[in-house]
Structure 1
Amino acid sequence: MSSQPAMTASAPDFAARIARLFVYPVKSCAGIELTEAVLTSTGLDLDRAWMVVDEQGTFVSQRELPRMALVRPQLKHHEVVLRAPGMLALHLAIDEVAGPARVRVWDDVVDACDMGDVAAQWFSDLLGRRLRLVRFDPQQRRLSSLKWTGGVQAPNQFADAFPLLVASEASLAGLNERLAGAGRAPVGIERFRPNIVLSGVEAHDEDRVDVLRIEADRPVAIKPVKPCARCPIPNIDPQTGQSSPEVLDTLQGYRQDARVGGAVTFAMNAIVLEGEDAVLRVGQPVSGDWKFD
């Protein structure tokens, strides 16, 4: 069943506000909640700028290493500080790297910058495998799927596939109502790793809007382009790194999405059409036009 009902000409205007903003400096590690963030062509500034890779240079994630959820970044002046249980803090200078690297993220092989032996040892000790930390090479251009962007060239860094992920408070509330009905505890939006969380809309309205326009310090236009098919990461408790199946089991009952071959979806991948260097802030109004498919 599709989660996208047909819209009618009498549908009210899409009107929302930014409720929460998140960046994830290290791919698959915990996020940082912000009150404001700079928008770039590749998403929010410093989002997925770093990535952990194995000895072959292939990225690793919570899918196989759920304890990555326990790595908590903090932005401090010109560095990112990483903390994890039982580990001394790892300080990463934002503008320093150790040397070149070549890495794989899904089907893309891209140039990157190795962050050195100290960072490699830190992640290896924490996660029990020989790992290294790399930084996205700003000279590299990694494009989102042109099939889903409608031919728009939308770059991203180490995100899975698109620069931004947009969710809504109402979508999470709908899931938590179903979890409560099954005697399960509610979950936080952090499990779904969005960048922008909207308030003031109905559940999954983010699925049904064409272009989101944000009232920032300059015009901003963001286009949701592809439903986010969910892997097992939402089953992982970000506070403990432990996995249990109830989140995806519950979504399976009402979020099988024909647009992506029947996969379970939650939130929308989005690209930046306009607004590079704009400052997004919690509370900013968001408007949009409905899709009439």
Structure 2
Amino acid sequence: MATPTLERVNVYPVKSLDPHDTLQRVEVREDGGLAYDREFAIVEASGEYVNGKNEPRIHELRSWFDPKAGRLTLCGPDGDPAAFDVDDSGGIEAWLTEFFGRPVELRRDETGGFPDDMLASGPTVVAAATLEAVAGWFDGIDAAGMERRLRPNLVVSGVEPFWEDRLYADR
């Protein structure tokens, strides 16, 4: 019998950017989501999210978040990091606008974040074996790369691929 083990807890402070994955514990918000998860979103002038579906350059952007210090660090392919206080939305927006070459806005929602699914806004769960299996379907991507693309909050080890499917029922 498989023994599910919680391997990693990831929160994605800025929707579509890198995870903050050094948490040993995280608060669950009133809406069921995790604290800091998708608390910020980069938005086009049209109101659409800037994400990997509509902006390939987002994959060139690295980010680090320090919740205790309230700092967000961004780094483009040039390798020159820029650190900001999270309350300095003007500075962050100016940096992102220059990076993307068009005006963008940084929005913040500390109460519910910006989940993809507003009806099921809680944490997403995936088995590490699922990440490995799905990565095997594509050339040039490994399990870590697949995790960056699928963006799960909870990664479970010690179970077979697609184990997480049994956790869900019809809504």
TM-score range, shorter-chain basis? 0.7 to 0.9
The correspondence for 1:173, drawn from 120, 132, 145, is 132
Identity value in percent: 27
| Gap change, CA 1:176 and 1:195, over 3 Å in 2 | same
| Gap change, CA 1:171 and 1:131, over 3 Å in 2 | same
The correspondence for 1:157, drawn from 91, 113, 117, is 113
Computing the radius of gyration from Cα coordinates, the structure with the larger value is 1
Counterpart of 1:59?
A: 49
Counterpart of 1:134?
A: 107
In structure 1, what is the Cα distance between the partners aligned to 2:96 and 2:125? 29
In structure 1, what is the Cα distance between the partners aligned to 2:74 and 2:169? 32
More strand by share: 1
The correspondence for 1:72, drawn from 62, 74, 78, is 62
| Gap change, CA 1:186 and 1:64, over 3 Å in 2 | closer
Counterpart of 1:202?
A: 160
Task: Confirm or deny that 1:43 pairs with 2:43.
Answer: no
Q: CA deviation at 1:17?
A: 0.4
In structure 2, what is the Cα distance between the partners aligned to 1:163 and 1:135? 18
Q: Secondary structure at the match of 2:65?
A: strand
Q: CA deviation at 1:69?
A: 2.2
In structure 2, what is the Cα distance between the partners aligned to 1:53 and 1:178? 31
Counterpart of 2:76?
A: 84
Contact 2:128 2:156 in 1 (8 A): yes
Contact 1:27 1:50 in 2 (8 A): yes
Once the two structures are superposed, residues 63-119 of structure 1 have per-residue CA deviations (whole angstroms, 9 ceiling, x without a partner) of 11121123222233322222222375343324x36xxxxxxxxxxxxxxxxx22x22
- TM alignment of 1:163-242, pairs within 5 A: 163-179=122-138, 184-188=139-143, 189-209=147-167, 224=168
In structure 2, what is the Cα distance between the partners aligned to 1:73 and 1:225? 34
| Gap change, CA 1:54 and 1:130, over 3 Å in 2 | same
Contact 2:136 2:142 in 1 (8 A): no
In structure 2, what is the Cα distance between the partners aligned to 1:128 and 1:49? 24
Q: Secondary structure at the match of 2:130?
A: helix
Counterpart of 1:29?
A: 17
Give me the TM-score of the superposition, normalised by structure 1: 0.49
Q: Secondary structure at the match of 2:73?
A: strand
Contact 1:37 1:44 in 2 (8 A): no
Q: CA deviation at 1:15?
A: 3.6
**What 5-or-longer segments of structure 1 have no aligned partner?**
1-11, 98-114, 139-155, 210-223, 227-258, 260-293
Q: Secondary structure at the match of 2:21?
A: strand
Cα RMSD for the two superposed structures: 2.6
Q: CA deviation at 1:18?
A: 0.9
Q: CA deviation at 1:157?
A: 1.3
| Gap change, CA 1:54 and 1:185, over 3 Å in 2 | closer
